Amino acid sequence: LNKFVALKIVKSASHYTETALDEIKLLENVMNADPEDPYRKFIVEFSGWFKHKGPNGIHVCMAFEVLGCNLLTLIRQYRHRGIPLSIVKRITKQILMGLEYLHDKCHIIHTDLKPENVLIVNRYNEKGENIDKRTASTDSHRQKIFKSENSIAASDNSVSTASLSKLNLQDKKSRERSNHVLHSSRNRIHEKHRKSYERNSSSISSTSSFHSSKHKSTKYTSSHHNSHLSKEKIKEYLKRDEKILIKLADLGNACWTDHHFTNDIQTRQYRSPEAILGGKYDTSADIWSVGCIMFELLTGDYLFDPHNSSHFSKDDGKLKKNNFLYINNIYHIYNI
């Protein structure tokens, strides 16, 4: 192909293989449903797949186009103080266009929309290097990539689709969230445990302040709380992001609109009321997640952040009841 690709290499256990094959069917449908639809470009491009035999068994490997960082990285670059409204509008519009293609043309529900699963189409990676100027033309470059792929395939870990030319393995831990990601497909046996991380941020609006006073899952460090972006840096980011392009990624938890693999969907902070209550869900569950993402982009903070407290625990039974009550309270306060 003479180009870089991002590889997602799945664990060799049979249930992971089964889930990966389900994902491949979804991805192939995305690519073939309507190639001429202008909204298809807002979904990550699937290049193909193959099987690799390693010391731990046979791994399903999926190849995707190389993209930049995710929206969580962007939130952090703005120091959790909120991304400018014009940029948030642009991002949200593209997310919704991508969802329209998924929902209407592909009949697919994403079920796990969150900042980590929205990738930026950018000429620059996290280090500011122009990846458009990079090529795989030299043997030395190819050798590095092949060695990297082989070492990953032998590993017991799954590689994120957000990987860049070096697959961003170094940054994987720093991007992982404190919640459990509940996987669908045959009850998605492989519930992944994400590393906890500190959301060093401060509220920038009364709405965020209200949310922060109610529920906090992390502590703010004083150094980050007092940190500010310089005017020059803000101008630099605005110029860089004014034409930002994004793509929806990671259909590992997705399902068909007429065939759901499980009722355990969505990451907690972006979970719709019907999913919390264990009820029936449809494409509107994705729209709920978009609303939560919008709030987080604008404020740098979660809209909903369920966690253990003196009033309720995270266990499913109490979480369903209390989160639904909390959502109702938000409705009344903001006259939604």
Query: C-alpha 25: how far from its chain's center?
Result: 20
User: Coil, helix or strand for 280?
Assistant: coil
- Bridge partners of residue 192, in order along the sequence: 181
Tell which residue, 189, 209, 152, 163, has the closest CA to residue 10.
152
| Residue 282 among the catalytic residues | no
Rounded to 5°, angle at Cα 294 from 291 and 299: 130
Within 13 Å, how many C-alpha atoms sit on residue 42's CB side? 21
Tell which residue, 303, 265, 304, has the closest CA to residue 285.
265
User: In angstroms, what CA-CA distances link 34 with 39, 113, 131, 199?
Assistant: 9, 22, 29, 40
Q: Which helix (H) or strand (E) holds 255?
A: strand 255-256
Q: Which helix (H) or strand (E) holds 232?
A: helix 231-241
Q: How far apart are CA 172 and CA 175, in angstroms?
A: 5
Q: How many CB atoms lie within 10 A of CB 135?
A: 10
Sole residue written with tokens 């979970």? 271
Q: How far apart are CA 163 and CA 5, in angstroms?
A: 9
User: Coil, helix or strand for 46?
Assistant: strand
Cβ contacts of 294 within 8 Å, gap of 6 or more: 88, 92
Joined tokens for residue 236: 């630099």
Q: How many CB atoms lie within 10 A of CB 61?
A: 20
Q: How far apart are CA 220 and CA 198, in angstroms?
A: 7
Q: How far apart are CA 182 and CA 253, in angstroms?
A: 8
| Marked catalytic residue, from 22, 112, 286, 305 | 112
| Active-site annotation, residues | 112
